[in-house]
């Protein structure tokens, strides 16, 4: 069967691999239908993802149809449409005992530590599968995983009714965080350097937009919040400068959620953290977000509406990666489809 495997920096190959077989009684074989390309996949391809183990079949955002089931599987049937949860954890370490399995000491991620969804069939433990209605198109269902990232960030930030939320960065995760925050009843301002992304955010519910090439973000947030500043700041850029800005943008008792994994040093002072009693919350992958996100997608509270704007056949994966690499502004979300 066909699989897309990365062997090294910019060394992407379409290869023929054996079709997986049921090995454990709780295994399920999924026929993959759609795979989203994420920024972390781009980093794997470019050789800058610090977590990947090569060679690797990429893809952690994927959906499909149940093809085979192990003898002890009871909750799934052949033909079911499913979303795959890409992380697995030991359930016993300190993080797991604190209900944070996404930070498990032995965390494994499909497409990073284990082969992922860029292959025609994949074997997955039943515990990592979630049902989704057959009425949801594959290209919408594939947004489930990135929506859970936004779900986790907004949960960590305690986003809720009437809270003011500032999102720095109107890329894919910023846009999805906007939609989840609005679904939770928040008021949202989003900033970026690209006017086209900001216009798209406005169309999708942003209460205010700020082009930081033209306007001072701090002043605009102060004006928008009538001097109170933001209750929650989500940094979906992940640059040292944007993280530093979070301390000024956040109001008293505010929460800051950085979503990047840059290892570049940032110089900040303790005073605003102490004086405003700020809470800085890391957000990695997701914890228990799949079920609520999938239900929201099924209820059309979370939709596609232009997020998936590029579709390629899996055999054209190199073309898709080139687009993401060379012209990322044209790729809100790229989805690879299996015929």
Instruction: Please write the tens of the pLDDT for every residue from 271-280.
Output: 999 999 999 9
pLDDT of residue 263: 83
Q: Which two tokens stand for residue 23?
A: 């090995």
Instruction: Please write the tens of the pLDDT for every residue from 262-307.
Output: 888 999 999 999 999 999 999 999 999 999 999 999 999 999 999 9
Q: 290, 3, 285, 295: which is closest to 129 by C-alpha?
A: 290
H or E segment and range at residue 140? helix 138-141
Q: Give the span between the Cα atoms of 223 and 217, in whole angstroms.
A: 10
Instruction: Give φ, ψ of 234 to 5 degrees.
Output: -110, 120
DSSP 174-219: HHHHHHHHHHTT-EEEEEES-HHHHHHHHHTT-SEEEETTTS-HHH
Instruction: Please write the tens of the pLDDT for every residue from 208-218.
Output: 999 999 999 99
At residue 330 the predicted structure's pLDDT band, cuts being 50, 70 and 90, is confident
At residue 329 the predicted structure's pLDDT band, cuts being 50, 70 and 90, is confident
Cα-based distances in Å from 128 to 17, 28, 36, 286, 288? 23, 10, 18, 13, 11
Averaged pLDDT, 297-320: 97
317-326 and 39-46 helices, crossing angle to 10° = 100
Neighbours of 68 (CB within 10 A): 17
What are the boundaries of each domain within the chain? Answer: 2-143+304-337, 149-280
Q: Which two tokens stand for residue 85?
A: 């949860």
Q: 147, 182, 176: which is closest to 164 by C-alpha?
A: 182
Q: What is the third-level CATH fold of 149-280?
A: Rossmann fold (3.40.50)
pLDDT of residue 339: 75
Instruction: Please write the tens of the pLDDT for every residue from 29-67.
Output: 999 999 999 989 999 999 988 889 999 999 999 999 999
Q: Give the span between the Cα atoms of 218 and 273, in whole angstroms.
A: 17
pLDDT of residue 253: 98
As a whole number, the mean pLDDT across the chain is 96
Are 232 and 212 within 8 A, CB to CB? no
Instruction: Please write the tens of the pLDDT for every residue from 93-122.
Output: 999 999 999 999 999 999 999 999 999 999
Q: What is the third-level CATH fold of 2-143+304-337?
A: Quinone Oxidoreductase; Chain A, domain 1 (3.90.180)
Q: Give the span between the Cα atoms of 67 and 77, in whole angstroms.
A: 9
Q: Which two tokens stand for residue 173?
A: 């995760």
- Helix, strand, coil percentages, rounded to 5, for the chain: 30, 30, 40
Q: Give the span between the Cα atoms of 274 and 148, in whole angstroms.
A: 31
DSSP category for residue 119: B
DSSP 62-110: EEEEEEEE-TT--S--TT-EEEE--EE--S-SHHHHTT-GGG-TT-EEB
Q: Give the span between the Cα atoms of 134 and 81, in whole angstroms.
A: 6
Residue 173, phi-psi category: left (phi > 0), alpha (psi -120 to 50), beta (remainder)? alpha
Q: Would you say the pTM of this structure is higher than 0.75?
A: yes
Are 127 and 290 within 8 A, CB to CB? no
């Amino acid at each position: 069967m066909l699989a897309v495997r990365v062997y090294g920096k910019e060394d992407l190959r379409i290869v023929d691999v054996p079709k997986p077989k049921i090995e454990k009684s709780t295994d399920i074989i999924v026929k993959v239908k759609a795979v989203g390309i994420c920024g972390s996949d781009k980093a794997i391809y470019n050789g800058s993802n610090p977590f990947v183990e090569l060679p690797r079949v990429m893809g952690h955002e994927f959906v499909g149809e149940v093809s085979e089931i192990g003898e002890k599987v009871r909750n799934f049937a052949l033909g079911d449409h499913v979303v795959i949860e890409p992380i697995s954890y030991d359930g016993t370490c300190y993080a797991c005992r604190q209900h944070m399995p996404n930070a498990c000491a032995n965390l494994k991620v499909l497409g990073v530590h284990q082969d992922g969804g860029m292959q025609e069939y994949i074997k997955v433990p039943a515990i990592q599968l979630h049902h989704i209605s057959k009425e949801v198109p594959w290209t919408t269902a594939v947004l489930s995983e990135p929506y859970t990232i936004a779900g986790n960030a907004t949960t960590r930030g305690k986003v809720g009714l009437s809270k003011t939320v500032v999102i720095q960065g109107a890329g894919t995760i910023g846009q999805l965080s906007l939609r989840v925050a609005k679904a939770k009843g928040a008021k949202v301002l989003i900033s970026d350097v690209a006017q086209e992304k900001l216009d798209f955010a406005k169309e999708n519910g942003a209460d205010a937009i700020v082009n930081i090439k033209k306007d001072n973000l701090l002043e605009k947030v102060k004006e928008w919040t009538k001097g109170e500043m933001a209750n929650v700041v989500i940094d979906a850029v992940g640059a040292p400068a944007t993280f530093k800005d979070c301390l000024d943008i956040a109001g008293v008792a505010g929460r800051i959620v950085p979503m990047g994994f840059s290892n570049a040093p940032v110089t900040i002072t303790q005073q605003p953290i102490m004086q405003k009693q700020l809470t800085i919350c890391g957000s990695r992958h997701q914890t228990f977000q799949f079920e609520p996100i999938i239900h929201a997608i099924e209820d059309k509270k979370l939709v596609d509406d232009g997020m998936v704007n590029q579709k390629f056949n899996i055999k054209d994966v190199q073309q898709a990666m080139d687009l993401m690499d060379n012209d990322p502004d044209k790729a809100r979300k790229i989805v690879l489809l299996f015929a």
